[in-house]
Amino acid sequence: MEPDSPTEPPRSVARRIADELAGGGALAVVLVGSHARGDAGPESDLDIFVVGPEAFSWRLEHRDGLLVSVSARPFEKHREAFVLPEKVCSAVPGWRGALVLYDADGLAASLIEEARTWTWGPLERRCDEWVAEEVTGYAEEVHKLAAALRNGNRSTAAVQRSLLAVHLAPILAVNRRILYGSENRLWDLVAGAMGEGWSRTQSAALGLGGGNFEQTCAAALRLYVFAAEEVAPLLDGRQGKVVERARGLAQSASL
């Protein structure tokens, strides 16, 4: 079945949804993402942030031919995203480009202003600590992938390969202090920042290089080696031992 075509402009749909949310108790409603920026494509979803009760939660729905994502949090939870390393890279540009749909008490306006004046400075140490622990944690996936390849367990190897190929880039985005308005650009932005070696290896690990299964797994292991070398100065003694062991395993298993 073909998807329904939009029957009215996306921003008109967003404003109608905002009116409904406001009637249900939302304190503020904003449009974020591609439809707020003006670079949406035919399959782009309508991303709506709600400041209000947790009762709204998060939901996906189809409205007027559009996929609509509604994400609701209390005001302080939205603000918290500006100081959480795992959220800040997308939260800050999201709020910077937000289009206000409803804001009776100025809460959305205050979040937008905070995003526009936000800097990395107060978060530097917290980001470094988060990056170090995340890369340390992914040592476990390296061990699992190496073991799966040795034992011929292709299903497990495929999962661990994918975890490394997908999840190392967001960690290095924090390490490189990369803000991204759309997750669709994340892996390309990290590749551009990390250089040609990472870029080629990431493409191979994601299956874009035309390699066979074993080659894509080896590429995912090499990605971990790149990440380990990148964050080595941030690691404490415990983390350094874990990462160095995984790095050596990754190098030998990817040969």
pLDDT in tens, 190-218: 999 999 999 999 999 999 988 899 999 99
**Per-residue pLDDT, 8:** 79
The per-residue pLDDT of the chain, averaged, comes to 93
Mark whether 97 and 157 lie in a shared domain.
Answer: no
Mark whether 201 and 235 lie in a shared domain.
Answer: yes
The answer to whether 162 touches 221, Cβ cutoff 8 Å, is no
Structure-token pair, residue 185? 């650009």
Mark whether 112 and 146 lie in a shared domain.
Answer: no
Phi, psi angle pair for 110, to nearest 5°: -70, -35
Establish if 34 belongs to a structural domain.
yes
**Per-residue pLDDT, 52:** 86
Mark whether 161 and 211 lie in a shared domain.
Answer: yes
Establish if 55 belongs to a structural domain.
yes
**Per-residue pLDDT, 114:** 98
Mark whether 62 and 110 lie in a shared domain.
Answer: yes
Establish if 4 belongs to a structural domain.
no
Q: Which of 55, 83, 118 is the last residue of a domain?
A: 118
Look up the pTM and report it: 0.92
pLDDT < 70 regions, the chain: 1-7, 54-57
Integer Cα distance of 214 and 205 in angstroms: 10
Integer Cα distance of 219 and 207 in angstroms: 9
Taking only the tens place, the pLDDT of each residue in 93-109 is: 999 999 999 999 999 99
Mark whether 41 and 76 lie in a shared domain.
Answer: yes
Number of domains in the chain: 2
Range of the domain at 136: 123-253
Q: Which of 118, 135, 156 is the last residue of a domain?
A: 118
Mark whether 158 and 225 lie in a shared domain.
Answer: yes
Q: Which of 89, 118, 147 is the last residue of a domain?
A: 118
**Per-residue pLDDT, 1:** 39
